[in-house]
Amino acid sequence: VSTANYKAREYGIHSAMPITKAWELSEKAAEEGEPPVVFIGGSFHHYAEVSKKIFKIIAKFVPIFEQSSIDEGYLDLSFTGNYAEAKKVVKKIQKEIKIKEKLTCSIGIGPNKLIAKIASDFKKPDGLTVIRDEEVEAFLEPLPIRKIPGIGPKTETHFQKLGIQTVRDLK
């Protein structure tokens, strides 16, 4: 599975899952009366074209950004001077992407890339989460350690054996 929408995720289907497992979960959901999952082929060429268009939109509003993957990037919003102005800029970006590409995007604003990345996952789809400097600790502490980029299933299992479940425990 290269990607899964939010409805498919409700069935337990997620990206990087073997397609046979996704099919099993889809069949199980259908047996329980849920709508079946629709499996479609992808078009990397099309995705790349749309990605270019989206990053052109971003470039209109933000002078410095780093594209980290086909559908993710880090925007340097320091030119805005404060979080309120940064929020105005990214709302304009979200609006233009929705109008021109008919897509939503979720954005996190924070004092650094790590916090912004974690914040971007909070209000999907089409969300905006702002974490100010003084809010970072309170934001991170209750989170499961898996929310930290780079902590995968094996590391999580290792930490769980040590009694570490949350960022607060890790701290």
- 87-121 per-position pLDDT tens digit: 999 999 999 999 999 999 999 999 999 999 999 99
pLDDT at residue 142, as a whole number: 97
Are residues 168 and 142 in contact, defined by beta-carbon separation less than 8 angstroms? yes
Other beta carbons within 10 Å of 143: 16
Catalytic center residues = 72
pTM (predicted TM-score):
0.81
Please provide the average confidence, as pLDDT, over all residues in the chain.
93
Q: How many residues make up the chain in this entry?
A: 171
Beta pairing class for 65-69 and 72-75: antiparallel
| Cα four-point dihedral sign 108, 110, 115, 119 | negative
For residue 160, what are the CA distances in angstroms to 91, 126, 144, 150?
A: 38, 32, 11, 16
pLDDT in tens, the chain (171 residues): 877 788 888 898 988 888 899 999 999 988 999 988 888 888 889 999 999 999 999 999 999 999 999 999 999 999 999 999 999 999 999 999 999 999 999 999 999 999 999 999 988 889 999 999 999 999 999 999 999 998 988 999 999 999 999 999 999
